[in-house]
A and B are shown apart, each in its own frame.
Chain A
């Protein structure tokens, strides 16, 4: 979960600055709950660190003890700045064991859904090698493009599965190759390695391995992977607004998308010899029958 989404101020505080001085701790609390001048907040700080916290706790019913203990250890410099360091260390430990109960904190259900959302978005970024938050519209070209690419299968051509993933942003990355500083070269090499790893992970997604028919040829497997990526790309978006868009309802009832789902499930695949689609289980043809057409030509001079 990103920093901005954390509602527990102590967690945010600790995760952001784990070498922060202790003196700022009460300030955090006082700024949110205790409205006082800077001098009074300083005296409050002193009071706080000297052990008069029960009054503070009673004044702040939102703070309660909790088993959760954040990994906060103040450094030497910050400790030297505090008053009564030995005593305050005890307090610091106690304080770090506290948890703010925020009535506005999101529910566990929401957090769980948000976590799923984040995970999915992460997959999306990785899959399409994109930094754009609005990924859905970009899926269209892969739809068109991958279909065209899959046509190459029938002639045994190489199908660059990662093509459409790399293409939209490859240009920007490429320009870095034109500069020749050592740092750039190192970064470029590092990015290349990372990208290669991600692409390899992506090509060997678990769902593909699970659903792929072992009897499929390389071409058929590639077609299946292309279909899977199209289905994934056109799956309903998470936001209700986008889900209700006319495009989504049309995509949901699209025959082409239905075919792609069947291909991705391994229910339908290509029969290159016959230039048709068929169901491997039953051998039934799917879609249009292929007719051999002669390669004749009229002689325009005899017209």
Chain B
């Protein structure tokens, strides 16, 4: 296990470089992100097995997420509390090479498309999802998961003109299989799937469903091998795994229109769920880049876990070595250990993010949290 301490800063996001095997970037904020500066840390893992600072960038406001460029090995994008996205070049000092300023509130997440490599997406507390092209200062597309038609269903005016934080889009991510597909999750518990080819300004998502029983859905991630499978984590402490082909149509998942239906929203059914794995809300979920059924989760209970999706297994017995497998018909609830592969408990504050190493032996992960630590540890045997 390696440890790096960022004194005075709380970790919000960590990501391995997709180009360099020993490089990490960490987005942080002072005073737990409450108020003050932010800092982007570029860390190198030395041959001696120590993490050292290669470069750092102090920012005017706290940083809440980051994404390495898939186009340029030296560029890293950060999501800042003042509503801007900043692209830093690690060969240059101090200032970013580009600033993208359109969000009205904090930018909660950013993600670089793995296929359309000059495209990235951002989401924020203003309830908007924006698609950007790296060479353009203005966004290419603005999407709103909560349209006028579904907002009336999802919440009720409270007389103050606010929507009680339900608007916040906590995370937006491109599909690693199709650069026209994007998924996001919101404070109103919904997961929204956008097909960028079909989306028009003001129009709702292609599919939308309530994922965590009305509690905020804090994180979502596409499985890197199974094209239609996503995982979500929420305030109900659960991790849920969904197959987008098997979303049972109900009042909350009807395309385009949110009808005045019967009382109570029918929820679509997930294919698997991990219940009781975390004692507090699940902050981030992240599928393994090496396996189709391993999942990393971080939580407010100050632990990180690696889970095996018991509902799916690679089928090597039938001569299929492609990494793809078959559904087993099981769920994690049917497993005595809940499919828990490993649990990491060294963090002493809320754990906000974790990322799988793309390099070397599979199974290494880096995690960061409000204790100001970055840990690199082996998650799978």
- Are B156 and A177 in contact, with the CB atoms below 8 A? yes
B260 / chain A contacts, CB cutoff of 8 Å: 178-179
Q: From DSSP, what is the main secondary structure of chain A's interface residues?
A: helix
B34 / chain A contacts, CB cutoff of 8 Å: 147, 150-151, 270, 277
Within residues 193 to 243 of chain B, which ones have a CB less than 8 A from any CB in chain A? 210, 213-216, 218, 235-237
- Are B164 and A144 in contact, with the CB atoms below 8 A? no
B279 at interface by CB-CB < 8 Å: yes
A180 CB, min distance to chain B CBs, angstroms = 8
A256 at interface by CB-CB < 8 Å: yes
A143 at interface by CB-CB < 8 Å: yes
A205 CB, min distance to chain B CBs, angstroms = 19
B30 at interface by CB-CB < 8 Å: yes
B158 / chain A contacts, CB cutoff of 8 Å: 160, 162, 166
Closest chain A residue to B108 by CB distance? Answer: A148
A154 to B30, CA, bound (A): 14
A112 at interface by CB-CB < 8 Å: no
B112 at interface by CB-CB < 8 Å: no
B268 CB, min distance to chain A CBs, angstroms = 14
Within residues 14 to 39 of chain B, which ones have a CB less than 8 A from any CB in chain A? 30-37
Query: What does the 1/0 interface line of B91-122 toward A look like (CB < 8 Å)?
Result: 11011111100000110000000000000000
Query: What does the 1/0 interface line of A238-268 toward B look like (CB < 8 Å)?
Result: 0000000111001001111001000000000
A108 at interface by CB-CB < 8 Å: no
Q: Which of B174-182, B311-319, B330-338, B344-352 contacts A (4 or more CB under 8 A)?
A: B344-352
A162 to B155, CA, bound (A): 13
B281 / chain A contacts, CB cutoff of 8 Å: 137-138, 140-141, 144
A164 at interface by CB-CB < 8 Å: yes
- Are B165 and A297 in contact, with the CB atoms below 8 A? no
Q: Which of B42-50, B57-65, B321-329, B355-363 contacts A (4 or more CB under 8 A)?
A: B57-65
A148 to B106, CA, bound (A): 9
Closest chain B residue to A180 by CB distance? Answer: B260
- Are B188 and A158 in contact, with the CB atoms below 8 A? no
How many B residues, CB 8 Å from partner? 73
A18 to B350, CA, bound (A): 53
B144 / chain A contacts, CB cutoff of 8 Å: none
- Are B81 and A250 in contact, with the CB atoms below 8 A? no
B9 CB, min distance to chain A CBs, angstroms = 8
Known: A158-B161, A170-B156. A143 touches B350 (CB 8 A): yes
A285 CB, min distance to chain B CBs, angstroms = 10
Contact of B8 among A171, A254, A288, A292 (CB under 8 A): A288
- Are B216 and A175 in contact, with the CB atoms below 8 A? no
- Are B31 and A287 in contact, with the CB atoms below 8 A? yes
- Are B161 and A145 in contact, with the CB atoms below 8 A? no
A145 to B160, CA, bound (A): 18
A27 to B1, CA, bound (A): 71
Within residues 161 to 176 of chain A, which ones have a CB less than 8 A from any CB in chain B? 162-164, 166-176
Within residues 55 to 105 of chain B, which ones have a CB less than 8 A from any CB in chain A? 58-60, 62, 81, 89, 91-92, 94-99, 105
B147 CB, min distance to chain A CBs, angstroms = 15
B370 at interface by CB-CB < 8 Å: yes
- Are A170 and B279 in contact, with the CB atoms below 8 A? no
A196 CB, min distance to chain B CBs, angstroms = 8
Known: A137-B279, A138-B236, A176-B263. A171 touches B214 (CB 8 A): yes
Question: How large, as a class, is the contact surface on chain A?
Answer: 35 or more
- Are A297 and B279 in contact, with the CB atoms below 8 A? no
Known: A250-B302, A300-B89. A141 touches B215 (CB 8 A): yes
A160 / chain B contacts, CB cutoff of 8 Å: 158, 160, 162-165
A23 to B117, CA, bound (A): 84
Closest chain B residue to A137 by CB distance? Answer: B237
- Are A164 and B164 in contact, with the CB atoms below 8 A? yes
- Are B165 and A247 in contact, with the CB atoms below 8 A? no
Q: Which B residues have a C-beta under 8 Å from some C-beta of A?
A: 8-9, 30-37, 58-60, 62, 81, 89, 91-92, 94-99, 105-106, 125, 152-156, 158-166, 168, 187-189, 210, 213-216, 218, 235-237, 260-265, 279-281, 283, 300-302, 345, 348-350, 370-371
- The 9 tightest CB contacts between A and B, nearest first, are A163-B164, A141-B235, A288-B30, A140-B281, A140-B280, A140-B300, A163-B165, A178-B260, A296-B95
Q: Which A residues have a C-beta under 8 Å from some C-beta of B?
A: 137-141, 143-145, 147-152, 154, 157-158, 160, 162-164, 166-179, 196, 245-247, 250, 253-256, 259, 270, 272, 275-277, 287-288, 290-300, 303
21 A–B contacts, CB within 8 A, in A order: A138-B215, A139-B280, A141-B216, A145-B165, A148-B165, A151-B35, A151-B62, A152-B125, A158-B161, A167-B188, A174-B153, A174-B155, A175-B153, A175-B261, A177-B156, A178-B153, A256-B349, A259-B32, A290-B35, A300-B97, A303-B91
Extra contacts, 11 of them, besides A137-B235, A138-B281, A256-B32 (Cβ < 8 A), are: A144-B300, A151-B33, A154-B35, A158-B161, A160-B158, A167-B164, A245-B279, A250-B302, A288-B9, A297-B95, A298-B97
